Structure 1
Amino acid sequence: MGLLENKVAVVTGASSGLGRAIAIRYAAEGARVVLADVRDAPIEGGEATQAAIERAGGIAISVPTDVSRWDEVDRLVAIAVERYDRLDVMVNNAAIYTSTNLVETSQTQWEQVVQVNLTGMFNGCKRAVQQMLTQEPADEVRGRIVNISSQHGMVASPGDFPYGVTKGGTVQLTRQVAVDHARDLIVCNAVAPGKIVTGKPGAANDPRALEYSHQRTPWPRLGRPEDVAGAALFLASPLASFVTGINLMVDGGWMAG
C-alpha cells in the first residue's frame, strides 16, 4: 500500500520540472492524479507526464488548464470530482518568472506573473476548499493543499522582482488558508525549494548562478525535483496530520547558513 493509495490528487504545472516530479511520485504511491498545465510536452524533453505515469502502471488524466483563469480551475476540479468522486490533495505548483528587476519589469510582465503565481494560487486554493467542504473526512482530514513556494518567498530573489514578491505572497496565503480552515479539517502547507536543478531554460542554469548556489548550499549537491516531490508527498500523506500552515524548506541547508 502506497502512502496515497486511492487518493485523488490534482497537480498544476504538471508537465515539467517540480510538478512533473510530484505527479509521478504521487502516482507511484497509489494516487489517481489529475495533471493540469497549459502545455503537454515537458520543457526538459522526454515523454509527457501522463505517459510516464501510465508506463509505470499508475493512473493519470490530463486537463489543459490556465490557472490564472477561475473558470478553467473550476472546470479542472469539477472534472477530477466527476471522474474520481472527490478531491483529497490539491498541489498548486504552476508558476512563471521574468528574470527582471523592479525597473526592468514592465506592467504587462508584472500582471502576468501575479496572475499565474498568486491569483492562480488563490484560484486553486479556493476551488479546492469549496470541494473539500462538501466531503466527509477521511482519517480526520477533509483534504490537503500543498502550495509550492520558494526560498525566495523568505529572502529576496535577486534579479527577479515579480517572482520573489509572488512567492512571498504564497507563504502568507498558505498561512491564511491553514488558519481559516483548520476547524473545517482542511490541511494547507507549502514546500519552499532552494536551488533545484531542472531543465528550465534561462538564467537559472547559468554556470555562474549554479556556482553561486553551490557556494551558498551547505549540502554537497544541489537539489533535484525528486527532493521536492518527497516533501510534497509527506505533506499530502497521513504522516503530516498535525502539520498545517508551515513553509517546509527543501534547500540543502541554504536558509540555515
Structure 2
Amino acid sequence: MLDRKVAVVTGASSGLGRAIALRFAAEGAAVVIADTRETPIEGGDTTLSLIRDGGGRAFFAQTDISSWEAVDMLVGETVEHFGRLDVMVNNAAIYTSTNLLETTPQQWQQVMGVNVTGYFYCCKRAVQQFLTQEPVSDARGRIINISSQHGMIACPGDFPYGVGKGAIVQMTRQIAVDHADDLVVCNAIAPGKIITGKPGVANDPDALDYSRSRTPWPRLGVPRDVAGAALFLASDMASYITGVNLMVDGGWMAG
C-alpha cells in the first residue's frame, strides 16, 4: 500500500511509533525512525534492525523535535537519503502526570515544547518540503498527528498533556484547511487506552481498570490498532479525508 513512499515517524523507537514504523515498512515504505533514543523502552531489537532484517529501507535519526534545527536536519536528511518526503507522522510526546497546581513552569514548558511546539516544527518543515514536490495520487504529502481521546475530554491528573493534545486536534484542522489548495492532507489519530511498554502511571492497575470500565470493546487497544489506522491515512485510500481526528478507542468516546 505504501510502495515507493517515504515516511518519517517521530518517537518510533518504542510504543505506537515503533508499531507504525514497522507497519509502514512492511507495506513498502522507506522509513526514517526519529527519536531521542534508539533503544526501545520495551526492550529487544531496535526498530531499525527489525525493518532491515525484514528487507526494508530505513535509517535512524536522533532527533529532539522541540528544536527547529533538529527538525530541519531531520527532513533534510530524509530527502538526501530517499529523494522526497511523502508522510510525516508526529507521534513523539512526553507527560508529567501533574494537575494544574502541581505543574511547575518548567514542566509546562517541557511538555508544550515537545507535544505542541515540536508538532508545529514537524508540520511546518514537512509542508515546506511538500510544496517543492509534484503531487502523487492527488497529494503532495500527508501529515498524521497522533492526538488522543484527551484532546476532546479532560485528561484526569495531567493538565499539560491534556491541553497539549487539545492543541494538536486544532492544529490538524487548521493545517488541513489552510493547505488544502496545496494538496497537503492532514489528519490526526486519537488513540484510546493502548497497552504499551510506557513506564509509570500508564500501566498502573487502577488506571487500567478505569480504562476497561470506560471502553465498550471487550479488550483494550494494542499498538497495531493505531498502526492500522495510520496505514489507512497514509495510503491513497484516504485521498478525500482531511482535517479528521480519527478515534481508535474501542468506542470510549461513543459511550
Q: TM-score with structure 2 length normalisation? A: 0.99
Q: Unaligned regions of 5+ residues in structure 1, if any?
A: none
Q: Unaligned regions of 5+ residues in structure 2, if any?
A: none
Residue matched to 1:176:
174
Residue matched to 1:208:
206
Structure 1 residues 120-131: aligned runs within 5 Å = 120-131=118-129
Residue matched to 1:16:
14
Give me the whole-angstrom Cα distance separating, in 1, the residues matched to 2:227 and 2:88.
14
Give me the whole-angstrom Cα distance separating, in 2, the residues matched to 1:187 and 1:62.
25
Q: Deviations over 1:70-116 (max 9, x none)?
A: 00000000000011111000001110000111101011000000000
Give me the whole-angstrom Cα distance separating, in 1, the residues matched to 2:246 and 2:64.
26
Identity across the alignment (%) = 71
Alignment partner of 1:33: what SS?
strand
Give me the whole-angstrom Cα distance separating, in 2, the residues matched to 1:59 and 1:87.
14
Letter of the 2:41 counterpart: I
**Counterpart pick for 2:41 among 38, 43, 50:** 43
Residue matched to 1:162:
160
**Counterpart pick for 2:248 among 229, 247, 250:** 250
Letter of the 1:27 counterpart: A
Give me the whole-angstrom Cα distance separating, in 2, the residues matched to 1:204 and 1:32.
31
**Counterpart pick for 1:75 among 61, 73, 76:** 73
Alignment partner of 2:17: what SS?
helix
Give me the whole-angstrom Cα distance separating, in 1, the residues matched to 2:250 and 2:60.
32
Shift of 1:67: 0.2
Residue matched to 1:220:
218
Structure 1 residues 231-250: aligned runs within 5 Å = 231-250=229-248
Give me the whole-angstrom Cα distance separating, in 2, the residues matched to 1:67 and 1:208.
32
Question: Is 1:56 paired with 2:30?
Answer: no
Q: Deviations over 1:36-95 (max 9, x none)?
A: 000000111111110111112211101110000000000000000011111000001110
Shift of 1:23: 0.2
Q: TM-score with structure 1 length normalisation? A: 0.99
How many equivalent pairs are there? Answer: 255
Give me the whole-angstrom Cα distance separating, in 1, the residues matched to 2:241 and 2:249.
19
Give me the whole-angstrom Cα distance separating, in 1, the residues matched to 2:165 and 2:141.
23
Letter of the 2:244 counterpart: I
Give me the whole-angstrom Cα distance separating, in 1, the residues matched to 2:207 and 2:81.
43
Residue matched to 2:108:
110
Structure 1 residues 1-12: aligned runs within 5 Å = 3-12=1-10
Alignment partner of 2:172: what SS?
helix
Give me the whole-angstrom Cα distance separating, in 1, the residues matched to 2:245 and 2:239.
15
Give me the whole-angstrom Cα distance separating, in 2, the residues matched to 1:188 and 1:82.
24
Alignment partner of 2:156: what SS?
coil
